[in-house]
Each structure stands twice: as C-alpha cells, then as structure tokens.
Amino acid sequence: MFRDTTFTDVSRADAMPDASAEFVMDEETFRGFYERNARGLWAYLARVTGDREQADDLLQETFYRFLRAAATYESESHRRNSLYRIATNLAHDARRRRQTRAPLIDAGADVENVSARDQAGATERGAELKQALGHLKPRERAMLWLAYAEGASHEEIASAMGMRVASLKPMLFRARHKLAELLGRKAEGRKA
Amino acid sequence: MKPVECPYEAEVLAAVLEARWPEHVDATLREHAASCALCAEVAAVAGAMSAALEPTRACAALPDANQVWWRAQLRARREAVEAAGRPITAIQLVAFACAVGLLGACFGATSTWFQAALKKVAANVASFDGTAFLTAMTTLFAEHGVLVLGLVAVIFLVPTAVYVALGRD
C-alpha cells in the first residue's frame, strides 16, 4: 500500500526512469479528473464499504489501478464508469477479505457515526437512512447510491457494477422497493 | 406481471436531484406521484439518498491530486523494479532445485541403506494384492457405510457451503 512508502524507496525510485509513461493520462489531465471525481468516489466507497478508513485506502488504490489500466477512453463518462467499476471490484474484494476475518455487523455505521460526530445537526432522517442501508446488501447499496444520490443512468450503473442493463433494472427495482419499505417503516414508527 | 418502471420516474428523480421536488414541479406530476407507487418510491428513496450525499461527501479527507500522482508514480516504479527482478529470482529457484536434485541423486547412488530401503518398497509394491485390498474395502464399507458416506458428504458439502456463504452478497 501507499502508506508503506519510505524515504529509501523515494531515493531508489528517483534513480529510475519516469514511470508515468505507462499511465493512461498525463499529470495535468489526471489532476483535473481527480478533482472532478475523487470526492464523489470517496462518498460511494464509504457508503458501500461502510468504513471511512477503508474508503481512504480504496480511493487511492482505485486511482492507481485506473492509471495503470491498459485502456483507451473515448470520453469523460467512459473514464468515470471505468473508475467506478474498479472501485466496485475493489470494494467487493475488500468485503470478501473482511468476511473471512470477521463478519460485517453494521455496514455504513462508521461513515454515519463519523458524519454524525462531525455534524452536530445530523438529521433524524439521516439516521433512519443509515439504519435502513444497514439492512441492504453491499451491491444494493452501491446501485442505489449511484442511481439516487449520484443520479447515474442505468447504463452508467450497469457499467460500474459490471452487469447488463437488462439485469440491473429488476435488481434496482427490488433494492429500491426494499429501501422504500424500510424508510416507510421508520417514518411510521416516528409518527407513532 | 407487476410493473417495475414508470415513464414518469425519470422526471420525478430529476426533480428530486435538482431540489425542485415537490414544491417546484408541475401539479400533474405531483398528482401522478401521489397515485403511482413506483414514483412515490423514487421520490422517497431519492429524497433520502440525495439528502445524505453532501454530508457524506463533506466527510472525505482527500489527499491532494499531486500527492496521489506522486505516490502512484513511486509505486509504479517500485513494481517495475520488482518485475525486472522476478526472472532472476525464477532462475535462482531453478538453479537451487537442480542443486538439490543433484545432491539427492548422489546420495541415492552412494548410500547403501537408502538403496536397501528402496528395494524393500519396490518389493512391497510388486507383491500388492488388489483383490485382498478390494475385499477389505468392501467389508469396511459394509460395516461402516453410513460413516463413510457421511465423511464423503462432509468433504464435498463443507467447501461448497463455505463457498456459497462467502460468495453471497
């Protein structure tokens, strides 16, 4: 991981040729692309993994793999879809690794707790969403977040999730229905 | 079949994401959403999720783009060094295996007790009685059939169960 980098590595690496020649874009283009997408991608990873620190690590890993990918991109949205696809796969792998070590108890808890701590006026609705999302599968959280928080199209979500649009639609419908029911139950509980 | 999509969904979603919902949209769209379960769901879910977007984004403590670029470059260089070193390691491994093999051959050719042990093993293999083995296995299966079946089932079922459990979303 990036955090293991030492000064010895830096001096050793400085003696070597420029490695960025193998990257899919130059530094200037990358900077713009990163500024436009990093925050949204972090939010996505934080919501899907439910772990702020893991989202930090996966963000850097995602951008690194994106830069090293042997691909040519036709447009900004193509690049973005590819970035989210890498992030989705990494989050999936991280979850599998974590499952083998310890079961995931409440996905989204860490992000929401931090959010609640950081923002004194965290709304009751936000807390309800946190609880409801905790009942969904990571894949459902991912597609719902892309669709209804980021406003991504079905094609974009399908591309990020690595599935066909035809398969996505019923899955998205079921996930949305599940979340709506959970939110509805919470709202009814609040009223009662 | 129960419908999974409504033609007005996209309009409702756009209104929610643009913070126009419900006050700043057509009365007809509002009325439709009140009577359409799918659009009501879209409004509820998109409303909750889009409201959570900014607070979540605000939580991000992002590293600077230059820092990410620099680290990526560093890592790419390190990986290039590792990749360049890999064939040497492979050759070293092959050489080590050859040396061990050669030593083993020398030992086998010169050691008398090792040769005697080899001959004993060869004699045992030659005198192996397949019919007697088969009879013994049949007897074992007849006496402990349930146990054997149980063991076989566990050997196949446990890995399958673990795979299914871990593979499930």
ipTM for this model = 0.73
Q: Which residues contact A22 (CB under 8 A, 6 or more apart)?
A: A68, B76
Mean pLDDT in residue range A39-61: 92
For an interface test with B, the pick among A10, A12, A16, A99 (most B C-beta atoms closer than 10 Å) comes out as: A16
- Residue B152, pLDDT > 80, answer yes
Domain ranges for chain A, please list them: 24-191
CA distance B145 to chain A (A): 34
- Answer for the pair A2, A58: CB distance below 8 angstroms, yes or no: no
Take residue A93 and report the two structure tokens written for it.
């792998």
Q: What's the pLDDT at B131?
A: 84
- What does the pLDDT average to over A24-45? 93
Q: Which amino acid makes up residue A115?
A: S
Distance CA B48, CA A176 (A): 12
Q: Which residues of B touch A178 (CB under 8 A)?
A: none
Mean pLDDT lowest among A65-79, A95-109, A149-163, B80-94: A95-109
Residues written for chain A: 192
Residues of A within 8 A of B56 (CB-CB) are 43, 46-47, 111, 115, 149
Name A75's Cβ contacts closer than 8 Å, sequence gap at least 6: none
Q: Give the residue-averaged pLDDT of B125-146.
A: 83
pLDDT at B125: 83
Which tokens hold the place of B120? 């004993």
C-beta separation of B73 from B80 below 8 A: no
Lowest mean pLDDT among A39-53, A169-183, B87-101: B87-101
The pLDDT of residue B1 is: 58
**Surface of A (50-109) touching B: CB under 8 A:** 52, 55-56, 59-60, 63-64, 67-68, 96, 99-100
- In this structure, are residues A108 and B52 in contact, taking their beta carbons and an 8 Å threshold? no
Sign of CA dihedral B20, B24, B26, B28: positive
CB B136 within 8 Å of CB A69: no
With an 8 Å Cβ cutoff, are B74 and A179 in contact? Answer: no
pLDDT at res. A60: 94
Candidates A92, A176, A185, A188, partner chain B, best to mutate (most B CBs within 10 A): A176
Q: How confident is the model at residue B123 (pLDDT cuts 50, 70, 90)?
A: confident
For chain A, the C-alpha Rg in angstroms (whole number) is 19
Distance CA B91, CA B87 (A): 6
Are A114 and B72 within 8 A, CB to CB? no
Report which residue type is found at A142: A
What does the mean pLDDT of chain A come to?
Answer: 80
Mean pLDDT value across residues B29-39: 92
| A174/chain B closest Cα distance in angstroms | 9
> Which positions in chain A touch B57 (Cβ < 8 Å)?
39-40, 42-43
* Crossing angle for the helix pair A165-191 and A124-134, to the nearest 10 degrees: 130
Which of residues A103 and B154 earns the better pLDDT score? B154
Which chain B positions have a beta carbon within 8 Å of A143's beta carbon? none
Q: Which pLDDT band holds residue A17 (cuts at 50, 70, 90)? A: low
Please indicate whether residue B17 or residue B117 has the higher confidence score (pLDDT).
B17
**Whole-number pLDDT of residue A18:** 63
Which structural domain range is residue B19 located in?
A: 9-59
Task: Tell the CATH superfamily of the A24-191 domain.
Answer: PhyR, sigma-like (SL) domain (1.20.140.160)
Cα first-last separation, chain B: 26
B162 min Cα distance to partner chain A (Å): 10
The token pair that represents A130 in the structure block: 């946190």
| CA–CA separation, A28 and A45 (whole Å) | 25
- Determine whether the interchain pair A64/B46 forms a contact, defined as Cβ–Cβ distance below 8 Å: no
Instruction: Give Cα B2 to chain centroid, integer Å.
Output: 35
Query: Mean pLDDT lowest for which of A2-11, A16-25, B94-103?
Result: A2-11
* A34 vs B contacts (CB less than 8 Å): 65, 68-69
- State the DSSP string of B36-84: -HHHHHHHHHHHHHHHHHHHHHHH--PPPHHHHHHHHHHHHHHHHHHHH
- What's CA B87's distance to the chain center, in Å? 28
